[in-house]
Structure 1
Amino acid sequence: MTGESAAQRNLKDAQILARKIDLLLDVVVAAEGRPYEFQDIQSALADKGVKLSRTRWHHIKAGDATVRQPSEVLAALAEFFDVNPDYLLESDGKVPERIQHELELLAAMRRAKVKEFATRTLAEVDNETLDAIAALLDDSTKY
């Protein structure tokens, strides 16, 4: 049996791109502290002379391999999110350091929220048990 077919590679690449875009949308926020909306992205790309239709955006976010995404659109998206274009243009593009740091910060914040909830909920539990639960949470949420 030979390696994966071109169609399988295209599907895999499209799905990887979709996950990368979702990651950027989760981590990178507008100056006002809110997540970016399609209109924000479309307008910013239009200012650079790159057209992004709602349909193309849907295909990118859905990981649709039936529609080839032009490199100029992906490069413009990389510029919009302030990441190296290789991150979006290549399926094995490395996660930008800034994004990795943001992910680690989000994970730490989530762990803190879970610990706070567990402490409030389990107020009658002894300190040793709470420490064991906190250690378990730390171990289970590491990247």
Structure 2
Amino acid sequence: MASESEAARNLRASQVLSRKIGLLLDVMTTSEGRKFEFHDIAEALAQKGVKLSRTRWHHLKVGDSTVPQPRELLEALADFFNVNPAYLLTEDGPLPERIQHELELLAAMRRARVREFATRTLADVDDETLAAIAALLEDSQNH
């Protein structure tokens, strides 16, 4: 079996980093409760002496492996979002607790919406069929 090429490793690492940045942007909010925007991040990093151009931010967010991201930038972003730098610096960096809790909450909300929808939609379905559907849903959530 051929080993993974450096280009493929770089692409995978860039895509993983992009997803991590996306999670941070989805979960973390400003003190006013709004989502962070480019100018919020760029200004905060500039105050710490780290430049973030709109172009670099775009490459980072889309997972462009042709533009290497400096360690200094990733560390500054981790500091900005108040997460362990290892989360952004390594592919298998630990998922921040806040993000883990948010993902669990979203999953629970999704399950509740499915159950609510099923209850309304399947009101006239017999108990045996409802039990089979419930078992199927529970099984799919465990995989």
Q: Shared topology, TM-score over 0.5?
A: yes
Aligned pair 1:87/2:87, yes or no?
yes
What corresponds to 1:57 in structure 2? 57
Q: Distance in 1 between matches of 2:103 and 2:61?
A: 20
What corresponds to 2:109 in structure 1? 109
CA deviation string 1:93-112 (max 9, x = no partner): 12223322221111001111
Compared CA separation, residues 134 and 90, structure 1 to 2 (3 A): same
What corresponds to 1:27 in structure 2? 27
What corresponds to 1:38 in structure 2? 38
TM-score normalised by L of structure 1: 0.85
Q: Distance in 1 between matches of 2:54 and 2:135?
A: 45
Compared CA separation, residues 137 and 47, structure 1 to 2 (3 A): farther
RMSD over aligned Cα, in angstroms?
Answer: 2.1
Aligned pair 1:69/2:69, yes or no?
yes
Tell which deviates more after alignment, 32-41 or 114-123: 32-41
Q: For 1:3-18, list aligned pairs within 5 A.
A: 3-18=3-18
What percent identity do the matched residue pairs reach?
Answer: 70
CA deviation string 1:38-87 (max 9, x = no partner): 22222222232222111111101111111110111111111122211011
Shift of 1:128: 4.8
Compared CA separation, residues 61 and 126, structure 1 to 2 (3 A): same
What corresponds to 1:78 in structure 2? 78
Q: Distance in 2 between matches of 1:12 and 1:102?
A: 25
Q: Distance in 2 between matches of 1:44 and 1:141?
A: 40
Q: Distance in 2 between matches of 1:85 and 1:79?
A: 7
Q: Count the aligned residue pairs.
A: 143
Q: Could you tell me whether the CA contact under 8 Å between 1:107 and 1:141 is conserved in 2?
A: no
Question: Following TM superposition, where does structure 1 have runs of at least 4 consecutive aligned residues deviating by more than 4 angstroms?
Answer: none
Query: What are the ranges of 5 or more consecutive residues in structure 2 without an aligned counterpart?
Result: none
Query: What are the ranges of 5 or more consecutive residues in structure 1 without an aligned counterpart?
Result: none
Shift of 1:19: 1.2
Q: Could you tell me whether the CA contact under 8 Å between 1:45 and 1:77 is conserved in 2?
A: yes
What corresponds to 1:123 in structure 2? 123
Q: Distance in 2 between matches of 1:32 and 1:122?
A: 41
TM-score normalised by L of structure 2: 0.85
Tell which deviates more after alignment, 40-49 or 64-73: 40-49
